[in-house]
Structure 1
Amino acid sequence: MRGRVHSAIPILYQKLESRIERMSGLRKAKKYDWKDSNLALFGSDTEKSVKKESAQTEPAWQKAGKSVGIQIWRVVSFKITDWPKEDYGKFYNGDSYIILNTYKEEGEDELQYDVHFWIGAESTQDEYGTAAYKTVELDTFLNDKPVQHREVQGHESQLFKSYFKTITVMKGGAQTGFRHVKPEEYTPRLLHFSGTRKHVEVREVARNEASLKSGDVFILDMGNTIYQWSGSGSNKDERMKAMLYLQGLRSERNGRPKTEVLEEADTGKSHEFYKSMTEEAEDEDEQTEGGDETKELYRLSDASGKLSFSKEKEGDVSMSDLDTKDVFILDTKSALFVWVGKETSTAERRNAMSYAHTFLSKTNHPLIPVSCVAEGHRMSKDFQTAIAA
């Protein structure tokens, strides 16, 4: 049995279901509120509050995990809906998604799973609360085999990024469409390209000069006109990816838009590209990147008769540092892992993710990826990398 903490999830879900009937839509939050993110709802407890029968009645799961590959669903008004395969790798910052990766280890026939829920920066608590709950439900449907992960926009794990050659994040939500938009009705958008040949990320940013970075490439999509702005320090991979993206946009519109490639050093501020930079600048992300990379291991235990949370170790961590009777939280500063021993108490299991959430909210890296790891179950590749054998 997997050590997850969702004793509060059924209550949350009942509230979500009761609100469906009295809400015609979801009001978007200004930005992902990581201090009140319902992270504690991610996971499950030993009493299996998420019933197998409930999981089996969810239509979206009927074809889940049947064969090797990626499957994606989006949360729309508390419901789980299929995400078109042609849009895999494309996400809206106003939505939350569930991503299932089904695969086989080399030389083995048994199917293995990783299930992620991805939180857009402007997704509502209702949406990512539903995504968290449904992630547990999907895990239950697949007999507790998946490793669960939380992903936050802009801070995705390497495992998550490996699923897509390009990740594109656009502004908007469930009512917005990637396709079938007439160029003359198009709302201009500025797309930021950054990365390497192996993985380039595309993110819609504010049409403001402050968004432009000399080390990257940008596309200004105005519908009938598309500009590619190449920063003086951008690399060939970013330029090539942007060019292919630009060609794809033009193709989708039957070749009607005219295109122009602009070099930063050769483009004056009187150019139409700069005149279109009329939006307000975006706020900087609250998460601090880089800095201290020292691993920290914490223990959650009730051996004394009450729950205690304490730092166990700093520096390199090995499996020998873990005790089957307790819960351990490993913070690598780029990812956080909750390891649940087979002999942990009910209180420890139920409170594991809540303590992890509280801990993260007080750090300068609250948005890092989070994974649940249960003793005796398959360890994620990221966890194997983070901890010595």
Structure 2
Amino acid sequence: MSKGLVKAKKYDWKNSNMELFGSKLEREVKKASAVTEPAWQGAGVAPGLRIWRIEKFEVKDWPKEDYGEFYNGDSYIILNTFKDDDSENLAHDVHFWIGKYSSQDEYGTAAYKTVELDTFLDDVPVQHRECQDYESDLFKSYFPQGITTMEGGCATGFRHVPPEQYEGRLFHFGRDKSGHIACKEIPRVASLVSDDDVYILDLGLTIYQYNGETSSPMERSKAMQHVGNIKIHRGDAVSKVLEGATTSKAHEFFEKLDQEPDDTPEDDTDGPDGNKLLRVNTETNLPEVVKEGNFARDDLKSDDVFICETSSSVFVWIGINASVSEKKNGLPYAHNYLRGHGRPWKSITVIKEGQKCAQFEAALAA
């Protein structure tokens, strides 16, 4: 497991007005990667998953053994390559994932590099943006064992910590906003441990699984799988299962929960909005409402760029006759729209006219 360094400010990225291509940040990114991005070599040539992390404006391979694990202070790029059912040609979905504490520079770099990867793959991929705790079902499907989010982030790269020097980490297993079992690192605070869920305290050489008295069999099973994965990569570790009903508060499990609670409130976000279709005015870069409620394919025009919002996500549909600049700036259009309307966490998908996207087809059929 890769170790991160803790960052301080939550949702730093959402406060930024995302600049369009041609900005100072884009020039910095291009300078850092020179003419050709080494990370893209071999990307998308065969079916499978590839993940990279953004480190100081650069794209770095993420270890395969850590796929499914993300630090909340970092930004990542994820490429899924698969065979198209109709043509047998290779197709791609490229996502960038934003941790709660990811910086504006990391967020911007991930966005620009996602577009760069799309260009590298001849504009074939469908582009997506994912935010921590609000990931799309498509993104979650890549990780059958579930997604694990951990405290910390990249500052000078990552390092592997020997188990005997390991700083204790507490993981919570419970249902996320869409009902999936999610694993999330939380502070080592005793008051955060409830009877409803399952927790893993990873002390390096000893791993405790604490089953809350009313926790579900699925939560217990997911936690057990997680413990098994840790032990595979950490030979000498010993695991123990604790039942909430019979575990004393004097047990080492609770003694190691020695951190103070953080009283900082969670960020407030507006609730989900209903379906809405907007056209991007490319002179002002601002969206104009075309239709409230459900929308259909006939509402889309090939000369324009549209933002199609549903209760859980936003699709940017780019007409085939849109300009080169409009085609590159689908992500900034959607980011700035969501930021301005208090819903920065929604997932974003950018679709060019003629591309296949099952999620967009489902939204049109709603």
TM-score of the pair, normalised by structure 2: 0.83
- The Cα offsets for residues 14-66 of structure 1, whole Å up to 9 and x where unpaired, read as xxxxxxxxxxxx9945222243346455899xxxxx99xx8972111110110
What SS class does the counterpart of residue 147 from structure 2 fall into?
A: strand
| C-alpha distance 309-72 of structure 1, shift in aligned 2 (>3 A) | closer
Superposed displacement of residue 352, structure 1:
5.4
Q: Which residue is equivalent to 1:340?
A: 318
Alignment of 1:109-258 (within 5 A): 109-165=88-144, 166-174=146-154, 175-177=157-159, 179=160, 181-195=161-175, 200-257=181-238
Query: 2:21, 2:329 within 8 Å by CA — same for their partners in 1?
Result: no
Cα distance change of structure 1 residues 230 and 63 upon mapping to structure 2, 3 Å threshold:
same
**Is the 2:73–2:151 contact (alpha carbons within 8 Å) kept by the matching residues of 1?**
yes
Query: Which residue, out of 98, 111, 114, partners 2:77?
Result: 98
Question: Given the superposition, is the C-alpha separation of residues 29 and 330 from structure 1 closer, same or farther in structure 2, using an over 3 Å criterion?
Answer: farther
1:317, CA displacement in angstroms?
Answer: 1.6
| CA distance in 1 between partners of 2:202 and 2:341 (Å) | 38
Q: 1:264 to 1:96 in 2, by over 3 A?
A: same
Question: 1:60 and 1:278, CA in 2 relative to 1: closer, same or farther beyond 3 A?
Answer: same
Worse-superposed segment, 212-221 or 141-150: 212-221
Partner of 2:12: 33
Counting aligned pairs with the same residue, the percent is 50
Per mean C-alpha deviation after superposition, the further-off stretch among 206-215 and 342-351 is 342-351
Number of the residue aligned with 1:356? 334
SS in 1 for 2:54: strand
Whether the aligned pair in 2 keeps the contact of 1:43 and 1:353 (CA below 8 Å) is: no
Tell me the residue number matched to 1:4: none
- The separation in 1 between residues aligned to 2:22 and 2:358, in whole angstroms, is 19
Alignment CA distance shift 1:351-1:243 (3 Å):
closer
> Cα 1:147–1:248, aligned 2, differ >3 Å: closer, same or farther?
closer
Contact 2:13-2:103 within 8 A present in 1 as well: no
How many Å separate the matches in 2 of 1:223 and 1:347? 50
Distance 2:200 2:21 in 1: 36
CA distance in 2 between partners of 1:58 and 1:184 (Å): 38
Q: 3-state SS of the aligned residue for 1:387?
A: helix
- The number of equivalent residue pairs is 349
Partner of 2:45: 66
Q: Shift of residue 135 of structure 1?
A: 0.9
d(CA) in 2 for partners of 1:158, 1:317:
22
Shift of residue 355, structure 1, vs aligned partner: 4.3
Opposite residue 328 of structure 1, the aligned amino acid is F
- Spell out, residue by residue over 1:310-331, the C-alpha distance to the aligned partner (whole angstroms, 9 max, x if none): 3222222211122223222111
Once the 2 structures are TM-superposed, how far is the Cα of residue 223 of structure 1 from its aligned partner? 2.1
Q: 1:346 to 1:114 in 2, by over 3 A?
A: closer
TM (normalized to structure 1)?
0.79
- Structure with the bigger RCO (C-alpha within 8 Å, sep 6+) is 1
Shift of 1:340: 1.8
- Shift of residue 347, structure 1, vs aligned partner: 7.8
Deviation at residue 219 of structure 1 after TM alignment: 0.3
Please say if residues 115 and 328 of structure 2, whose CA atoms lie closer than 8 Å, have aligned partners that are also in contact: no
| Corresponding residue for residue 259 of structure 2 | 279
Contact 2:14 2:104 in 1 (8 A): no
Match of 2:365 in 1: 388
Q: Provide the C-alpha distance between the structure 1 equivalents of 2:286 and 2:236, rounded to a whole number of angstroms.
A: 64
Identify unmatched segments of 5+ residues in structure 1.
Answer: 1-25, 45-49
Contact 2:304 2:319 in 1 (8 A): yes
When residues 150 and 38 of structure 1 are mapped into structure 2, their CA distance, relative to the original with a 3 A threshold, is farther
Partner residue in 2 for 1:327: 305
Contact 1:41/1:129 (CA < 8 Å) preserved in 2?
Answer: no
Distance 1:150 1:307 in 2: 19
Separation (CA, whole Å) in 2 of partners of 1:27 and 1:324: 46
- Alignment RMSD, CA only? 3.2
Return closer, same or farther for 1:183/1:84 CA change in 2, 3 Å cut-off. closer
Q: 5+ unaligned residues in a row in structure 2: which ranges?
A: 24-28
